[in-house]
Chain A
Amino acid sequence: MTAPSTTVIALRPAPRAGRGGLPGLILTGGVLAAALLLAVLGPVLAPDALEQDILLGVTPPGTPGHPWGTDELGRDVLQLLIAGSGSALAGPVVIALGSMLLGVLLGTITGYVQGWLDFTIGRITDLLLALPVVVVAIVVAGVFGSGYWVTVAMLVVLFAPSDIRLVRSAVIEQSARPYIESARMLRLSPWRIMFRHIVPNVTPIIVTNALVNFAIAIVALSSLSFLGVGVSPGSADWGRQLDDGRALLLSNPAASIAPAIAIVVVACAANLLGDVIAARAERKGSAE
Chain B
Amino acid sequence: MNDTSIVLEARALSVRGPRGVIVEPVDVRVHAGQTLAVVGESGSGKSLTARALTGLLDPALEATGVVRWGEREFDLSSNVPWPSLRGSAISLLLQDPFTSLSPVHRCGVQIADTVRAVAKRTGRRLSSREVQSIVTDRLREVGLDASVAGRYPHELSGGMRQRVAIAAAIAGDPDVLIADEPTTALDASTQGEVLEVLAALQRERGLGIVLISHDLGVVRGCADDIVVLYAGAVAERGPARVVLDAPVHPYTARLLAAEPPLDHRLERLEGIPGSVPSPGQRPEGCAFAPRCALATELCRTDVPQLSAVSRGGVVACHHSSTPLVSEERDRAGTARTVSFDDALLQVRGLRAHHGATEILHGVDLAVGPGEIVGVVGESGSGKTTLARCVAGLHVPSDGELTLGGVALPRRLGDRDPRDVQMVFQDPYSALNPRLTVGEALREALAVSGRPASDAAALLESVGLPSKYVGRRPRDLSGGERQRVAIARALAPRPRLLICDESVSALDVSVQAQILALLLRLRDELGTPVLFITHDLAVVRQVCDRVVVLRQGAVVETGPVEQVFDEPQHPYSASLLAASEPSLELKGSRA
Residues of A at the B interface (CB closer than 8 Å) are 1-7, 9-14, 17, 177-179, 181-188, 197, 200-201, 285, 288
Return A122 CB to nearest CB of chain B, in Å. 18
Stretch at the interface among B77-85, B201-209, B415-423, B461-469: B415-423
Complex Cα–Cα for A197 and B19 (A): 32
Contact B279 A187 (CB under 8 A): no
Residues of B at the A interface (CB closer than 8 Å) are 17-19, 22, 42-45, 47-48, 51, 58, 60-61, 278-280, 391-393, 412, 415-417, 420-422, 424-435, 443-444, 447, 473-474, 478, 485, 488-489, 492, 505
Q: Which residue of A lies closest to B424 (CB)?
A: A178
Complex Cα–Cα for A4 and B428 (A): 8
Q: List 10 A-B contacts (CB under 8 A).
A: A2-B426, A6-B44, A6-B278, A7-B58, A9-B280, A11-B60, A11-B61, A181-B393, A185-B393, A188-B443
Residues from chain A with a CB closer than 8 A to the CB of B488 are 182, 186
Contact (A179, B431) CB under 8 Å given A11-B17, A11-B60, A188-B443: yes
Contact B432 A14 (CB under 8 A): no
Return A185 CB to nearest CB of chain B, in Å. 6
Contact (A179, B478) CB under 8 Å given A11-B61, A188-B443: no
Complex Cα–Cα for A1 and B492 (A): 28
Contact B429 A179 (CB under 8 A): yes
Contact (A182, B391) CB under 8 Å given A6-B45, A6-B47, A14-B18: no
Q: Which residue of B lies closest to A192 (CB)?
A: B443
Return A156 CB to nearest CB of chain B, in Å. 29
Return A29 CB to nearest CB of chain B, in Å. 24
Contact B428 A184 (CB under 8 A): no
Contact (A3, B505) CB under 8 Å given A10-B19, A288-B428, A288-B474: yes
Contact A179 B430 (CB under 8 A): yes
Residues from chain A with a CB closer than 8 A to the CB of B431 are 179
- Of B43, B393, B426, B428, the contact of A6 (CB 8 Å cutoff): B43
Complex Cα–Cα for A55 and B417 (A): 81
Query: 11 additional contacts, CB 8 Å, given A3-B42, A186-B444, A288-B474?
Result: A6-B42, A6-B44, A7-B47, A9-B279, A10-B17, A11-B58, A179-B432, A182-B422, A183-B443, A185-B417, A288-B429
- Of A7, A178, A184, A187, the contact of B430 (CB 8 Å cutoff): A178
Contact A182 B424 (CB under 8 A): yes
Complex Cα–Cα for A186 and B444 (A): 7
Residues from chain B with a CB closer than 8 A to the CB of A186 are 417, 421, 443-444, 447, 488, 492
Contact A201 B44 (CB under 8 A): no
- Of B22, B430, B433, B474, the contact of A10 (CB 8 Å cutoff): B22
Contact A184 B42 (CB under 8 A): no
